[in-house]
Amino acid sequence: MSSISPNHGPRSETESAPIGRRERRKLEVRARIYSVARELFTKQGFEATTVDEIAEMADVAPATFFNHFQSKQALLRLMTGEVVEHLHAMTVESLVGEGKSVERLRAFIARAANDIAESRGVARETLLELMRLDATPDGPHPYLARLFEPFVNLIAEGQRAGEIRTDRDAAFLTQMAVGMMNSAITNWLANPDYPVEDGLVDATEFALETLRRQPKIS
């Protein structure tokens, strides 16, 4: 029985199958290398992991590793892209929805701290790589702009609900609050032993105190 190609007309299985098998094999090997690298980076850190270790655990020759990835750094860049997508999805899921804006922000930070705790070493390396890749001399990191909007919307909702101060606009308050929370991340990037999970929670609580609507003094 023949298969139909929309561009080339009928094509037999014997003609197409060998190419398909080769491509599947390449994809399987690439996925295995990537999975092993992620596991090793998480367990022992990026710097402590060697290409030879990745190749051995993935059951491929080191030369095969380089057929798929130029370097360890190339693997880290792929992981960094995944981190951006995960952060964006997590931001939208945590900050958009029902409930008080303050509690939604707390839930987001708790989730972020938990993610860091589960893969501390690779999380720090991917964030450092993100800073290197996205740094621009003329403004903030592009990834921040993508993550910023859900925070602004959350603050604006809190203002309308009377939970958050209204003497400043939502964008300014978001900038200040995110800056406070980022201080914990910055400390961690400078010092890998810094307790970033606790620091994030403490910085968030301080930011919330700043954001809360203050009672009028008569």
pLDDT digits (tens, 9 = 90+) for 6-26: 344 444 444 444 558 888 888
Claim to verify: residue 59 and residue 90 sit in the same structural domain: no
Burial class, 171, CB count within 10 angstroms (exposed 0-12 / middle 13-18 / buried 19+): middle
- Where helices occur in the chain by DSSP H, the ranges are 13-44, 51-58, 62-68, 72-95, 101-118, 120-134, 142-160, 170-190, 196-211
Across residues 158-173, what is the average pLDDT?
A: 94
Contact 116, 127 (CB under 8 A): no
CA distance 86 to 168: 30
Between 176 and 136, the more confident residue is 176
Burial class, 8, CB count within 10 angstroms (exposed 0-12 / middle 13-18 / buried 19+): exposed
Give residue 162's region: left, alpha or beta (phi > 0; psi -120 to 50).
left
Claim to verify: residue 40 and residue 122 sit in the same structural domain: no
Residue 58 has pLDDT above 90, yes or no: yes
Claim to verify: residue 35 and residue 126 sit in the same structural domain: no
CA distance 204 to 142: 23
Tell me the pTM.
Answer: 0.68
Residue 139 has pLDDT above 80, yes or no: no
Pairing status of strand 3-5 against strand 9-11: antiparallel
- Residue 47 falls inside a structural domain: yes
Q: How many domains does the chain have?
A: 2
In percent, the amount of the chain with pLDDT more than 70 equals 82
Residue type at 99 in one-letter notation: G
Q: Domain range spanning residue 31? A: 3-69
